Structure 1
Amino acid sequence: MKKVNVLISGSGSLYGVAVIESLLRSDLPLNLVACDISARTLGLYLAHQAYIVPPAHQEELYLTSLLNIIAKENIHAIFVASSHELAFYSRNKLDIEEKTGVKVFTNLPETMNICNDKWLTVNFLKEKGFNFPVTIRYPEDQDKINEFIKAVQFPIVIKPRQGAGSQGLYIVNQYEDIHPLIANKQDIILQQYLPDDCGEFTTGICAGANGRILSGITLKRYLQEGMTMSADADDFTEITDYCKEVARVLKPYGPCNFQLRLLKGNPYIFEINPRFSSSTGMRSLLGVNEAEILIRAEILGEAIYQNKNLKCSVIRQYTDYLVPTEKIIMLQKKFNMEHKN
């Protein structure tokens, strides 16, 4: 079997390192090529080849660098591991694939918009007949606040329509606290609070072309500042199957993560992230190597048979790595030489 050349962009992120380490565990013949905007990012030194690139918001420069890497390394697949680069790859996905024949594992703008905007996420779930937390917008629905509170009762959740993790998220227990949090703000939602007495779950669904489901795994997660720091894998088949049904309708491409809680025993999704997640590495350790699955299914055309998930817990602990300073200096010099004005 010929080597499969894989580019991991944003390779220094938590997701990027997880993707690289997952692929290094694979027995596939892989050549891993990492790129990032900084020479001081770990993924560059875990992969087989490394490149520094301009920031993705400098679209023309970034695209030129990307096409050069694709040509030089004969890239077959691109995994996007930086949330800052998702919009670029979403807009340019079809053009890159047409020009180069590479598979770009990200979603088109329509799907990205549904997932990135929590108001659109709720409306998608509602329109397609899935469970959804009752939600109103601010300032558009400010005249409905009293009615909303009467319907869902306190506590409620206030958060931005866009964004991930716990940034800008507030749990409010009384009327007096609402106004100071929303005054003079735009693009805010007020949402029904989903109880956490059963915990919070993250379900990873891997999807191929036309929304074909390749894998699914649910973890009960334990958070710290919005990040999964520990997780339990158990028999959460019902939750996983529910998220697979949602994915079949949404039709994402590549990795997709559903964050949810249980209300009266039923799963209620409150966030969809159409990308690799902070639990990508955990899933790989538990036997669901999402990056490898995508390569086998979408690049090599292999049938995917998911093994029964391990029943185990994973605890995240950050590790320090030694990298020769000369490597960092050489990589930075190479980038500077190639991008001289």
Structure 2
Amino acid sequence: MKSVTVVVTGVGAPIGVGIIKSLRASHLPVKIVGVDSEPLAQGLFRVDRSHQVPSARSDPDAYFEGLVNVSQREGADILFSGWEGELPMLAQRKPEFEERTGTILPLAPDATLKALDKWLTVKVLRAFSVPVPDTVLPDDREQLDDFCRNHAYPYIMKPRRSSGGKGLVLVHNDRELAFFSQYMPDPVIQEQLLPDDQEYTVGVFIQADGAPGGTLVLKRSLSGGLSYRMESLDNPEAAAIALQAAQAMGLIGGVNVQMRCTATGFKVFEINPRFSSATCVRANFGFNEPELAIRHFVLGEEINPPEVKAGICLRFWEELYFPPEVKQSAQRGEYTDPGRVLNQF
């Protein structure tokens, strides 16, 4: 079988590295091309070919052109995003990117943009009877007053467009509510979902026609917005709600649905229209989302939900060590031997 060339972006971050690990664990012959703007991004030393591109934050257009050039030069079959910050741009420019490169972007543009907005996500899920936390906008005075009458402090407040818990605060009283409503740009207010030790992250794969391609449920413990302890569970209720949520949004490919199990049942509080930092964990338990994406979007296979296994993952830091000259080589964009590691333990 011919090798499939995969571009992975954001390979210095946990999601990008997780995608690389999943691809290495797949049963397909793949050539992995890593892309990042940071010359010492660790993922650039884990792949078959490495490329530096301009910073997306400082020059989005140059970054987009960098992705186009890399995909053209490498003859890439598919591109996987390892950094959520680029998703709005990729969604908006998907037709242009695919036309210029012949590289598949496995995402649904309109659905992706909606899922990146927490308020629009709640509105869509409510319309499809998916259980969600009570959510309001602080500038809707009537709805906010009604919300405050129905819920005791503390409340959750977070930006409409953020991930990994970035910007999230607990609001404990009227004074804090007024302050953060002014201080935080474009926030939403939600009821606090308790207990906080009942958090689940569910990986869902959706085929191009909206048909399900499988799910895997992880009960997780968090630190700094990332899962550090996860348990793969057979939980049909959580899996069904996550699938319902992903399909309601109209998403395709790998989707990450986050929820908590409360006294009144599961409630979905976030949907990430992308792979997550737990992608490689799910791959270990038999649900390899990057492999499923290649099989479906590149090879044209219809996906039957894979058999998954139960187990526990304990996550920890991992180090790579290099001689000093690697820094100068990396700054020149030279990765002639990306696998050359001085020490790893």
How far residue 203 of structure 1 moved from its aligned partner, in angstroms, is 0.9
Within 5 A, what are the aligned runs for 1:248-267?
Answer: 248-267=247-266
Relative to structure 1, the CA distance from residue 26 to residue 183 in structure 2 (aligned partners, 3 Å threshold; closer, same or farther) is: closer
Give the conservation status (yes or no) of the 8 Å contact 1:154–1:174. yes
2:341 maps to which residue? none
Residues of 1 paired with 2:285 and 2:14: CA distance? 17
User: SS where residue 220 of structure 1 aligns?
Assistant: strand
The one-letter amino acid of 1:133's match is P
- Compared with structure 1, are the counterparts of its residues 167 and 68 closer, same or farther at alpha carbon in structure 2 (3 Å cutoff)? closer
* Residue 102 (structure 2) pairs with residue 101 (structure 1): yes
* Corresponding residue of 2:70: 69
Cα distance in 2 for residues equivalent to 1:126 and 1:215: 23
Using a 3 Å threshold, how does the CA distance of structure 1 residues 289 and 324 change in structure 2: closer, same or farther? farther
In structure 2, relative to structure 1, the CA distance for the partners of 1:40 and 1:125 (3 Å cut) is same
Report the residue type matching 1:63 in the other structure: F
CA deviations on 1:48-73 (whole Å, 9 max, x unpaired) are: 01111112352442233323222221
**Aligned residue in 2 for 1:281:** 280
Whichever residue aligns with residue 2 of structure 1, its letter is K
The amino acid that maps onto 1:167 is K
Q: Which residue of 2 aligns with 1:301?
A: 300
Distance 1:50 1:303 in 2: 31
TM-score by length of 1: 0.90
2:137 matched residue in structure 1: 137
Q: What per-residue deviation string (whole Å, max 9, x for no partner) do you get for residues 92-113 of structure 1?
A: 11111122221112341x2233
User: For each residue in 1:164-192, what CA deviation from the matched residue of structure 2 results, as whole angstroms up to 9, or x when unmatched?
Assistant: 22333223344454333324554122212
> Is 1:157–1:190's contact at 8 Å kept on the other side of the alignment?
yes
Deviations 1:236-290 (A, max 9, x none): 1211122112222222122211111123352211111111112112111211111
Give 5+ residue unaligned stretches, structure 1.
336-341
Deviation sequence 1:180-218 (CA, Å, 0-9, x none): 332455412221222126601111112231333222111
Distance of aligned partners of 1:143 and 1:246 in 2 relative to their CA distance in 1, 3 Å threshold: closer
Tell me which amino acid in the other structure corresponds to 1:3.
Answer: S
Listed as ranges, the gaps of 5+ residues in structure 2 are 335-345
Q: In the superposition, relative to structure 1, how do residues 198 and 322 fare at CA in structure 2: closer, same or farther (>3 Å)?
A: closer
- Alpha-carbon distance, 1:130 to partner: 1.7
Question: What are the Cα deviations for residues 220-245 of structure 1, in whole angstroms up to 9, with x where unaligned?
Answer: 11011221111111111211122112
Read off the aligned partner of 1:241 and give its amino acid letter. A
TM-score relative to the length of structure 2? 0.89
| Distance in 2 separating the partners of 1:299 and 1:328 | 36
SS at match of 2:44: helix
For 2:106, give the aligned amino acid: F
Aligned to 1:85, what secondary structure does the other structure show?
A: helix
Tell me the amino acid that sits aligned with residue 283 of structure 1: R
SS in 2 for 1:84: helix
Cα distance in 1 for partners of 2:184, 2:8 equals 37
**Is the 8 Å Cα contact of residues 256 and 276 (structure 1) preserved in structure 2?**
yes
Residues 207, 181 of structure 1: alpha-carbon distance in 2 compared, 3 angstrom cutoff: same
Name the amino acid aligned to 2:288: N
* 1:210 aligned residue: 209
Contact 1:20 1:47 in 2 (8 A): yes
Please state if 1:118 is matched with 2:118: yes
User: Does the residue aligned with 1:317 lie in a helix, a strand or coil?
Assistant: coil
Q: Secondary structure in 2 aligned to 1:292?
A: helix
Pair 1:282–1:264, CA change in 2 (3 A): same
Deviations 1:144-177 (A, max 9, x none): 4332122233332222222122333223344454
Identify if the C-alpha distance between structure 1 residues 245 and 143 changes in structure 2 by more than 3 Å, giving closer, same or farther.
Answer: closer
Question: Does the 8 Å contact 1:135/1:191 carry over to 2?
Answer: yes
Identical positions, percent: 29
CA contact (8 A) 2:199 2:258 kept: yes
Residue 340 of structure 2 aligns with which residue? Answer: none
Shift of residue 304 of structure 1?
A: 2.8
Q: Distance in 2 between matches of 1:25 and 1:184?
A: 44
**What secondary structure sits across from 2:269 in the alignment?**
strand
Matching of residue 316 in structure 1 with residue 315 in structure 2: yes
Aligned to 2:151: 152
Per the alignment, do residues 94 and 190 of structure 1 end up closer, same or farther by CA in structure 2, a change over 3 Å counting? same
Q: 1:304 to 1:267 in 2, by over 3 A?
A: same
Match of 1:269 in 2: 268
Q: Tell me, yes or no, if the aligned pair for 1:52 and 1:331 is still in contact at 8 Å.
A: no
Give the aligned residue type for 1:76.
D
**In 1, Cα distance between the equivalents of 2:279 and 2:245?**
20
Secondary structure of 1:209's partner? Answer: coil
How many residue pairs get matched? 333
Q: Counterpart of 1:8?
A: 8
How far apart are 1:316 and its partner, in Å? 0.8
Amino acid of the structure 2 residue aligned with 1:30: V
Contact 1:212 1:251 survives alignment (8 Å): no
- Measured in 1, the distance between the counterparts of 2:47 and 2:94 equals 23
Contact 1:20 1:32 (C-alpha < 8 Å) held by counterparts? yes
SS for the counterpart of 2:216 is strand
How far 1:328 moved relative to its partner?
A: 4.1
Does the Cα contact within 8 Å between 2:257 and 2:270 map onto a contact in 1? Answer: yes
